[in-house]
């Protein structure tokens, strides 16, 4: 009796340990997860051309007279898979760049949002219930 209960516990621990996993994904042209402005951005010296050369096309761009603004987004997700459940944690940041006469005037990072979610596979739950 004791051996069968111990064997069942070992099987359960084995399933939990070896059926879990995690992954990380990131989208965006520049990584802003450290919440620090990229090193090449210097107020008063960096031009729009420098930014386009180093980062690429922005998510948003607007001009008004001699002033212009660029927006870059960075989005990170972490997934934790455990048996039939997937837990997801999300975080996004936004880099705002303000230019005056094509020279960088202000660079600021803002936390755009965060989230938490869980996906449960109903087919696996149905299989386990049978």
So what's the pLDDT on residue 2? Answer: 73
Measure the CA–CA gap between 89 and 12, rounded to whole angstroms.
Answer: 26
Measure the CA–CA gap between 54 and 38, rounded to whole angstroms.
Answer: 10
**Three-state SS at 26:** strand
Give me the tens of pLDDT residue by residue for the chain, a chain 130 residues long.
677 777 777 776 766 655 556 667 777 778 887 888 888 899 999 999 999 999 888 888 999 999 999 999 888 888 777 666 777 888 888 999 999 999 999 999 988 777 766 666 666 566 656 6
Measure the CA–CA gap between 33 and 38, rounded to whole angstroms.
Answer: 11
Spatial CA neighbour of 16 closest among 82, 64, 95: 82
> Which residues, at least 6 apart from 56, have a Cβ–Cβ distance to it below 8 Å?
29
| Tokens standing for residue 99 | 């230019």
Is the pTM for the entire model greater than 0.85?
no
């Amino acid at each position: 009796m004791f051996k069968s209960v111990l064997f069942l516990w070992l099987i359960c621990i084995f399933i939990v340990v070896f059926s879990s996993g995690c992954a990380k994904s990131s989208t965006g042209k520049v990584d802003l997860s450290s919440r620090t402005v990229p090193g090449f951005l210097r107020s008063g010296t960096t031009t729009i051309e420098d930014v386009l050369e180093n980062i690429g096309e922005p998510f948003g761009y607007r001009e008004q007279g001699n002033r212009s603004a660029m927006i870059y987004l960075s989005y990170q997700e972490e997934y934790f898979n455990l048996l039939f459940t997937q837990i997801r944690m999300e975080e996004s940041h936004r880099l705002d760049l303000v230019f005056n006469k094509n020279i960088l005037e202000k660079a600021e990072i803002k936390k755009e949002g965060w989230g938490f979610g869980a996906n449960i596979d109903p087919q696996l739950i149905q299989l386990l219930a049978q």
